[in-house]
Amino acid sequence: MAVSNPTPTEYIQHHLQNLTFGLHPEHGWSMAHSAEQAAEMGFWAIHLDTMGWSIALGVLFLFVFRKAAKAASTGVPGGLQNFVELMVEFVDNSVKETFHGKSKLIAPLSLTIFCWIFLMNLMDLVPVDVLPMLAQKIAVLFGADPAHVYFKVVPTTDVNATLGMSLSVFALMIFYAIRSKGLSGFIGELTLHPFNTPNNKLVQALLIPVNFLLEVVTLLARPISLALRLFGNMYAGELIFILIALLGLWQLPLHFPWAVFHILIVVLQAFIFMMLTIVYMSLAIEEH
């Protein structure tokens, strides 16, 4: 797709490259024409396709749920109202069963996470060539070289997006932990657990570095594992779709069964991210 007759390697690399805009050391603020240029931009780069689809799908989620809320009635509910009520009840029950505290934020946060990630994952079921080819045709109208137009449509296959979401959850974890236990209580959990000898202050002091190392590793592993689990599963699924697409017309017998199976992954990964978020928030407010 990057050239008239791409090799399998070029085809895969083109599909796995994000549309990147950033500050290049030599070219200034510009679009990246290759993976190497994108890497050279470093921190000062943004994946326009990831941001665009994430925002668009977030707006779609808000629009659908707002429309259902405005049209809600006490009479016979319509299909959209039934669907939204089912989603809200499902998430609400999950929060009640898992979150052992009181917060007006956790249920809306969990609903947003589940629906937003589900929509982003669902983009993986769109045939891999359709939207990138459309983006190339639009770029040609503006005089751009189609070989340099990259377009990924599944935001959760970009580790930057999954890390962004997991770090937001991590920040809320720290906030709730400090609000619930106080700064001294939060620091105490990091330094006095899991090894605690309250009857021997000297041994307790000597174990503080060991406790701190173990607890910090455990704490930092939560957002990292949260992000990499979602990214890894969706990236692998997208890669399989791309490999199937390399078969040309022969992809049709394979594409459909893999898409049906992948629907389970789409839903499951959104559910796992939501449930782990609830669990981590619950752990943040609980005493050891």
pLDDT band at 279, cuts 50/70/90? very high
Beta strands in 113-232 (DSSP E): none
Quick check: is 97 in a domain?
yes
Q: What is the pLDDT of residues 109-122, one digit of tens each?
A: 999 999 999 999 99
Q: What is the pLDDT of residues 134-172, one digit of tens each?
A: 988 888 887 777 777 889 999 999 999 999 999 999 999
Q: Is 229 a catalytic residue?
A: yes
Quick check: is 3 in a domain?
no
Let me know: does 152 contact 24? Beta carbons within 8 Å: no
Q: Which two tokens stand for residue 111?
A: 């609903």
Q: What is the dihedral of CA 284, 221, 217, 197, to 10 degrees?
A: 40
3-state percent helix, strand, coil for the chain, nearest multiple of 5: 75, 5, 20
Q: Which of 82, 93, 200, 225 is catalytic?
A: 225
Q: What pLDDT, on a 0 to 100 scale, did the predictor assign at position 256?
A: 82
- The strand pairing partners of 46, in sequence order, are 21
Structural domains in the chain (count): 1
Quick check: is 208 in a domain?
yes
Given a cut of 70, is residue 1 above it in pLDDT?
no
2 vs 217 pLDDT, higher one: 217
Give the domain extent around 249: 8-285
pLDDT band at 79, cuts 50/70/90? confident
Q: Which of 110, 166, 233, 282 is catalytic?
A: 233
Q: What is the pLDDT of residues 6-44, one digit of tens each?
A: 788 888 888 889 999 999 988 899 888 888 899 899 888
What proportion of the chain, given as a percentage, has pLDDT over 70? 97
Cα–Cα distance measured from residue 134 to residue 32, given in angstroms and rounded to the nearest whole number? 19
Quick check: is 12 in a domain?
yes
Helices 106-122 and 79-98: crossing angle in degrees, nearest 10, is 120
Q: Is 233 a catalytic residue?
A: yes
Q: Is 66 a catalytic residue?
A: no
Quick check: is 1 in a domain?
no
Task: Give the long-range contacts of residues 191-199, CB within 8 A, separation 24 or more.
Answer: 191/215, 193/288
What is the mean predicted confidence (pLDDT) over 267-287? Answer: 92
What is the mean predicted confidence (pLDDT) over 204-218? Answer: 90
Q: What pLDDT, on a 0 to 100 scale, did the predictor assign at position 288?
A: 59
Beta strands in the chain (DSSP E): 20-24, 28-31, 45-47
pTM score, whole prediction? 0.90
What is the mean predicted confidence (pLDDT) over 64-69? Answer: 92
Quick check: is 41 in a domain?
yes
